Structure 1
Amino acid sequence: MKNIIILIFLSLSQLASSATFYVATNGNDNNSGSIDSPFKTINKAWSRVSAGDIIYVRGGTYTYSMMPSTTLNNKSGTSGNLIKIWNYSGEFPVIDYSAETFTTQKIGIQMTGSNYIHIKGIRVTGIKQPVSGNTSQYGFLLWNNVSNCIFEQIETDHIGGWGVVIGDNCNNNLFSNCDSHHNADPYSTSSPYGGADGFESGSASSTNNTFRGCRAWWNSDDGWDLRIYNGTVTIDNCWSFWNGYRPGTSTPAGNGEGFKLGPKQSPSTTNVLRTVTNCLAFENYATGFSCLNAGYYNFYSVLYNNTAYKNRKGYNYSDAGMVTTLRNNIDYANGTVPSINAANTHNHNTWNGGVSVTDADFVSCSSSGIDGPRQADGSLPVLNFLKLSPTSDLIDAGVNAGLTYNGSAPDLGCFESGSGSTPPPATPVYVSSAIENATPTVIEMTYNLSLANVAPAASAFTVRVNSTTRSVSSVAIISGRVRLTLSGAVVSGDAVTVAYTKPSSNPLQTSA
């Protein structure tokens, strides 16, 4: 279904001095970095950017010989002018090291001392673990002092170690719609397969990091591993499944916890450090959701509206001192009943009584498609798996925990009923503009979704340069972007605003 864009933006300022650079598989680091003369590596483009600039990485496969480890160090944007490293609209860049055999540690993308960065739409895959040396690899590593960043639609897979790791002094970062899967470390001498998680942090100094709409599966150790992480973390609308096995098999490997949330390093605290909402953990080797002190230190946490299904144990909160509030959670078809210590507050969960749970409570108990492609906007696939049947007594059986709900009360579990199995068409969101030095009469505007090749009349756009109207000579849709050709050139330092009014024919619209 096509979606009509009624309004793009009003009074959006775009400084002509902001720069756009391109990286492509056929590029050369001696090039200028333009779309027609792209760089070969992200490292080269990184050396050229400053706050407000954007790097577009074209689609295709970047091997180790083409793009050795990417290091994004000691450079920052600002809160209003992030440095962006994005996949080119409609294209899929893959950093693939699978053709190489390594004897030392390799990192796909590493960041240090860089803040206000937005990385989007890049996959890192195939970094094999060295056979000897007890060395694990990293797909994506925030090593130190990386804060206020957005990591969107990042995929790390088939890494001989950890998929995504948050190191020290990394705060206020958002991981949105990211996937980390098929990561395993078979050659770790102390604990084979025990050091490969989807998302991991054991930092004593990082805090306020958020995961939203992410998935972790077929990791040989855990989906999320926050053991000895001292800071706050929010995990919302995330799925963790099939962890703790040798990827793609039923052979047990590492710990196998979907969401390992604790413990922390010294000292203990009564502050809430873990907030987990609307998350799904199923068919993990060990536990769906756990928070144990394991001889370390305690903290408080909250779990609202989560679902644990067919794990060996759904919820493990047995250790005294780990105080958790659990509400509106489903525990179904797990190997053993939840372990909840007496200090915890737990009510309106399936194990508290008042409801019964059977297969009939769900539209489907088939997980087919759970690891499949995401939607066009990067959000999780739309499935009927474990969504509540209209006749389920789990509907409206919860208590208000501060989350959005339909009906007279919240439902139990991670999927609120009444939202429907098919979402409305996504509305394209304006994300950036570029005016390049080589073409100073052309404005190219990018959206989060690809646009159909339907160009409105030039009269649909109003462009002002330094508050003076500049006529639009032509409009084109090129590679899913809007390209406006102006009657006169823009120079560095000009402030450009663009407004769009939906015409009666040929409005802007998505391609699907």
Structure 2
Amino acid sequence: MNFFRCKLLLIPAFIGISLVSALSFSATAHAANFYVSTTGKDSNSGTLASPFASISRAQQAANYGDTVYILGGTYRDFRIASSDANYNYVNDIIKSGITYRAYSSNDTPIFDFSKISAASKRVAAFRINPKVSNVTFLSIQVTGVKVGNQKQSECFRIEGNTTFNQVVCHDNEANGFYFVNHGTGTCIKCDAYNNIGPTKNSIGNTDGFGAHGDGVNFSYCRSWHNSDDGFDCLTSKGSNTFDHCWAFNMNAGGDSNGFKIGGYANGTPPNKIPIHTVKYCLSANNNAHGFYANHQPGQSATWTYNTAYNNKQGNFDMLERISPTKAVDIPGTREILHFNLAYDGVSIKDSNIPSANISNNSWNKNGINISDSDFQSLDVNQLSKARGADGDLPTVTFMHLVKSSDVLGLGCF
């Protein structure tokens, strides 16, 4: 139901205003709750006793600071909210400052878009408008998004500013989280898996997480068995941070990198090339590279305390280009790598990095000989275990070092 919340305006004492005077400046903010249910109706009032049926109707009623609670169940009946020349936007988020969240942590809302055809246009299950900021999604799942004969579709197309917490995109023919144009935001404890483009046209355009906008922070996220890359920041205009994220089992037929960090393909790089941060991350059992600088025309990233295992085209590949105006590939010279661990496969390739920038990694520590016995487990299947009650990454022993290992202290565990 609706409730009122008072905000105390804090005024420094040195300007001589007493607490009583300060209270006279207090602002009273009105925040409302609305509810959506699989058994609701959009003609309802939106209360818990009389919930709406759709996100679109709840957004129409809500304003900045309000919360839309989504009751558990599977939502399958949708109408197209808006369209342009290329896309049908099923849910078009056009208002700022609204939180969309599960009503109960014990009953996750599942949005199944398998009835929405992609025959005529691409599908964006949720689109966050470029003018929108401070939108939050918490504890929902998205599945069934179709691509048809289109080049790609998206579960979330983020062109504004959004925070995702414990949101899961799985078993789609579409990108999971797609930050594009000037999109920014945060992904915390999110998963993207089994998102596979079914055609030659789409298989190489279906990533778990795409950071192609003005900068995104990813923390404690997982990406696995998506048909293109786990995390991709091709053509990014802003700096992205990847912190305690896992990418594994990218082997469904596309580019198949764990972390593709940088690159502009045939596009024009921005005036200031962004430098990304990749720390405490894990990339394992991918058909291409584990951690990849991807032809960046400058430094792609600072890479610290990461672990790479059994990535078929190299665990760390630091391939760069000479400059933004000269698209000639060179072994990387500008990357910074410290305290990283690589095992099984080529540890590092395409690297001509000065020694000061690439120290204390498993492949360049003297007298080190790593074997299976250095690890508690090499079972990559542990990584897809269920998360903890608070959305924490699962407890695993995969790639955890034994206490007697010579490389203890390196990598993400």
Matched, 1:110 2:127: yes
1:307 to partner: Cα distance:
0.5
| Shift, 1:372, TM fit | 2.1
Q: How does 1:82-121 map to 2 (within 5 A)?
A: 83-89=98-104, 90-99=106-115, 101-104=117-120, 105-112=122-129, 113-121=131-139
One-letter amino acid of the counterpart of residue 115, structure 1: S
Counterpart position of 1:412: 410
Amino acid at match of 1:121: S
Q: Is the 8 A contact 1:269 1:300 kept in 2?
A: no
Partner secondary structure for residue 352 of structure 1: coil
Residue of structure 2 in register with 1:343 after alignment: 353
* Alpha-carbon distance between aligned partners in 2 of 1:73 and 1:128, rounded to the nearest angstrom: 20
1:308 aligns with 308
- Letter paired with 1:157: H
Change (3 A) 1:218 1:328: same
TM-score (norm 2): 0.82
2:380 aligned to 363, 367, 372, which one? 367
Cα displacement (A) at 1:341: 2.4
Alignment-mate amino acid for residue 287 of structure 1: H
CA contact (8 A) 2:35 2:70 kept: yes
Extract unaligned runs of 5+ from structure 2: 1-5, 9-26, 82-88, 323-331
* Equivalent residue number for residue 389 of structure 2: 376
Q: Is the 8 A contact 1:151 1:176 kept in 2?
A: yes
In structure 2, what residue type is equivalent to 1:111? I
> For residue 36 of structure 2, what is the aligned residue in structure 1?
23
User: Is the 2:217–2:242 Cα contact (8 Å) retained in structure 1?
Assistant: yes
Mind listing any 5+ residue stretches in structure 1 that lack a counterpart? 1-10, 78-82, 247-252, 396-410, 416-512
Q: Which whole-Å CA distance do the structure 1 matches of 2:396 and 2:171 have between them?
A: 25
The aligned runs of 1:212-361 (5 Å cut-off) are 212-243=219-250, 245-246=251-252, 253-264=253-264, 266-267=268-269, 273-293=275-295, 297-312=297-312, 313-319=314-320, 321=322, 322=332, 323-334=334-345, 336-344=346-354, 345-354=357-366, 355-361=368-374
Q: Give the residue type in structure 1 aligned to 2:192.
A: S
Q: Measure, in 2, the Cα distance between the counterparts of 1:17 and 1:129.
A: 41
Query: 1:29 and 1:215, CA in 2 relative to 1: closer, same or farther beyond 3 A?
Result: same
Aligned residue pairs, count:
364
CA displacement, residues 59-99 of structure 1 (integer Å, 9 cap, x when unaligned): 0000044897543433222xxxxx21111122200001235
* Alignment-derived partner of residue 48 in structure 1: 61
Per the alignment, in what secondary structure is the counterpart of residue 369 of structure 1?
Answer: helix
Question: Cα offset for 1:270?
Answer: 7.7
Offset of residue 179 of structure 1: 0.7
**Contact 1:309–1:333 at 8 Å: present in 2 too?**
yes
User: What aligned pairs does 1:123-134 form with structure 2 within 5 A after superposition?
Assistant: 123-130=141-148, 132=149, 134=150
Cα shift at 1:201? 3.4
> Given residue 182 of structure 1, which amino acid in structure 2 is its aligned partner?
N
Q: How has the CA–CA distance of structure 1 residues 15 and 362 changed in structure 2, closer, same or farther, with 3 Å as cutoff?
A: farther
Aligned to 2:154: 138
Matches within 5 A, 1:420-459: none
> 1:53 deviation in Å?
0.9
Q: In 2 relative to 1, CA 15–170 (structure 1 residues): closer, same or farther, beyond 3 Å? A: same
Query: What secondary structure is seen at the aligned counterpart in 2 of 1:45?
Result: helix
Cα pair 2:285 2:380 within 8 Å, conserved: no
Tell me the distance in 2 between the aligned counterparts of 1:26 and 1:268: 48
In structure 2, relative to structure 1, the CA distance for the partners of 1:54 and 1:223 (3 Å cut) is: same
Match of 1:486 in 2: none
CA drift at 1:202:
3.4
Residue 205 of structure 2 aligns to a residue whose secondary structure is: coil
Q: Aligned letter for 2:112?
A: D
Letter in 2 for 1:317: M
Task: Give the structure 1 partner of residue 175 of structure 2.
Answer: 162
Asked whether the equivalents of residues 238 and 274 of structure 2 are also in contact (C-alpha less than 8 Å), the reply is no
Q: Does 1:36 align with 2:49?
A: yes
Q: Which structure would you say has the larger Rg?
A: 1
SS at match of 2:311: coil
Matched to 2:381, the amino acid is: S
Distance 2:146 2:396 in 1: 33
Residues 146-189 of structure 1 deviation map (CA, whole Å, 9 limit, x = unaligned): 12x31111111222231110011223x11001111111222244
Amino acid across the alignment from 1:23: V
CA contact (8 A) 1:46 1:72 kept: no
Q: Which amino acid aligns with 1:46?
A: Q
Identity of paired residues, percent? Answer: 30
Letter in 2 for 1:119: F
1:368 Cα offset (Å): 3.2
